[in-house]
Amino acid sequence: METSRSPVFERTNRKRVFSGIQPTGKPHIGNYLGALRLWVGAQEVHDCSFAVVDLHALTVPGAVRPAELPVKVREAAAIVLAAGVDPSRATLFVQSEVPAHAELTWLLSCVTPVGWLERMTQYKTKAAVQERASAGLLAYPVLQAADILLYRTDLVPVGEDQKQHVELARDVAQRFNRLFGEAFVVPEPWIGSGTARIMGLDDPTAKMSKSVGETRPGHAIGLTDPPEVIRRAIQGAVTDSAPAVDVATAGAGVRNLLAIYAGVTGEATEAIAARFNGRRYGKLKVAVADAVIASLEPLQRRFRDLMADPGELDRVLAAGAERSRGVAAVTLQRASALIGLVRR
Ligand code: ATP
Ligand code: MG
């Protein structure tokens, strides 16, 4: 797959980059096009840390069963590596193996107004489909702020849906710094262009999501799905009522297929528009499925190899956690001292 180029790559100064993925289900093409490929590009230039954020996966009780969580953590880590993150250039670790994440979350929770959290779109969306949302779901963005701030992060490469959370992390950092002194670097979101919000194939009004994909076949294109499953999902994608593609007036479903095609082929939007305008949806879907399947083939091969050697995967994660504990401890110590938790 093409590595996305962004103006950030033109800068010569090295930045600190942090981002995470939840082990909540099968990673999908939205995770790849919105986040993972930015991570792969970032490691060429910047000082990067990436985490499988397992504590975040606990915020929806029942979403991941305890016995499944370790499997999903390994799978998420293997996907990150299979996508091209190189542990000799970037640090990859599991969030719960660095206790400072949970500890800093408490300090930050005590300076975060509840109203800020209640305004978060993801909280409202996820809470709406549950009988009783957990306090953890409300506090999710505070944990995310801790993840980011511990590594003195400048840039957070994420999909569009996480922009609001990164902005909250900025607000929390600034509030803490103002109240207690300069503990944190104020981070900026890094959102790619074109594919920062891939929509669900079965419902192009909502973003493609791992947890939704667990219960709705045909919602997502799983990065590890076999070719026939990918083909079936794309064939079933919602399009418009008109008989053929009209790029100028295309609805969300058709625009989504065109964005996925552009994302996996790296072709220019104008060339794609010229090729598919006036073509029937069936032809567009075959072309998108062919392009997605071909582009995922090397990733899927690497994923299978990585999963065949869990010992090696665990060694990579253990080394990443060790390194991260050292960096995180310094930030936590500084914040703790500023807030008065250290006896002099
Ligand atoms: P869940 O449904 O459990 O929240 P998710 O699909 O949203 O899962 P996350 O682990 O929450 O995945 O997010 C990992 C990264 O992928 C984040 O940077 C997020 O912004 C990005 N991302 C998630 N969904 C999409 C999407 N549909 N399009 C583009 N980027 C996405
Ligand atoms: Mg999510």
pLDDT digits (tens, 9 = 90+) for 223-233: 999 999 999 99
Residue 242 has pLDDT above 90, yes or no: no
Kindly calculate the radius of gyration of the chain based on its CA atoms and give it in whole angstroms. 20
If asked whether residues 288 and 326 sit together in one domain, one would say: no
- Sheet of 91-94: strand order equals 91-94, 47-52, 16-21, 155-157, 188-190
Per residue, the 3-state secondary structure of the chain, as one string, reads CCCCCCHHHHCCCCCEEEEEECCCCCCEHHHHHHHHHHHHHHCCCCEEEEEECCCHHHCCCCCCCCCCHHHHHHHHHHHHHHCCCCCCCCEEEEHHHCCHHHHHHHHHHCCCCHHHHHCCHHHHHHHHCCCCCCHHHHHHHHHHHHHHHHCCCCEEECCHHHHHHHHHHHHHHHHHHHHHCCCCCCCEEECCCCCCCCECCCCCCCECCHHHHHHCCCCCCECCCCHHHHHHHHHCCCCCCCCECCCCCCCHHHHHHHHHHHHHHCCCHHHHHHHHCCCEHHHHHHHHHHHHHHHHHHHHHHHHHHHCCHHHHHHHHHHHHHHHHHHHHHHHHHHHHHHCCCCC
**Substitution site in 52, 56, 161, 214 for ligand 1 pocket (most atoms within 8 Å of beta carbon):** 161
**Same domain assignment for residues 298 and 320:** no
Spot the catalytic one: 15, 26, 210, 285. 210
- Dmax over CA atoms of the chain, in Å, equals 75
Count up the domains in the chain and report the number.
2
148 shares a domain with 233: no
Distance of CA 208 from the midpoint of ligand 1 (Å): 8
| In the predicted structure, residue 324 carries a pLDDT above the cut 80 | yes
Residue 201 is assigned to a structural domain of this protein: no
Pull the structure tokens for residue 82.
């299979």
Q: Does residue 46 belong to any structural domain of this protein?
A: yes
Q: From CA 111, how far away is CA 339, in angstroms rounded?
A: 11
Q: Which residues pair with 190 in a beta bridge?
A: 157
Q: Are 40 and 65 within one domain?
A: yes
- CB of 211 sitting under 6 A from ligand 1: yes
The residue segments making up the domain with residue 239 are: 210-302
216 lines ligand 1 (CB under 6 A): no
For residue 1, pLDDT over 70 is answered with no
Distance 200 CA to ligand 2 centre (A): 13
Looking at residue 331, its pLDDT comes to 98
Catalytic annotation, pick one of 126, 163, 283, 285: 126
- What's residue 62's pLDDT? 84
110 and 237, same domain (yes or no): no
Ligand 1 pocket, 210 CB below 6 A? Answer: yes
> Residue 307 falls within a domain, yes or no?
no
Do 298 and 224 lie in one domain? The reply is yes
Confidence of residue 342 (pLDDT cuts 50, 70, 90): confident
204 within domain boundaries = no
- Residues 227 and 118 placed together within one structural domain of the fold: no
Say whether both 260 and 319 belong to one domain. no
262/287 same-domain check: yes
Residue 34 domain-assigned?
A: yes
Residue 273 has pLDDT above 80, yes or no: yes
Whole-number Cα distances in Å, 215 to 25, 26, 209: 10, 11, 11
CATH number at residue 143: 3.40.50.620
Q: Are residues 238 and 167 part of one domain?
A: no
Task: Tell me which residue has tokens 């001292």.
Answer: 337
pLDDT tens profile 30-66: 999 999 999 999 999 999 999 999 999 999 888 889 9
Q: What is the CATH number of the domain that holds 220?
A: 1.10.240.10
Give percent of the chain above pLDDT 70: 97
Q: Is 283 tagged catalytic? A: no
Residues 320 and 298 in one domain: no
pLDDT at 12: 60
Supply the pTM of this predicted model. Answer: 0.95
Residue 56 lies in a domain: yes
* pLDDT tops 50 at residue 3: no
* Residue 179 within any structural domain of the chain: yes
Do 266 and 167 sit in the same domain of this protein?
no
**Is residue 94 assigned to a domain?**
yes
The mean pLDDT of the chain is 95
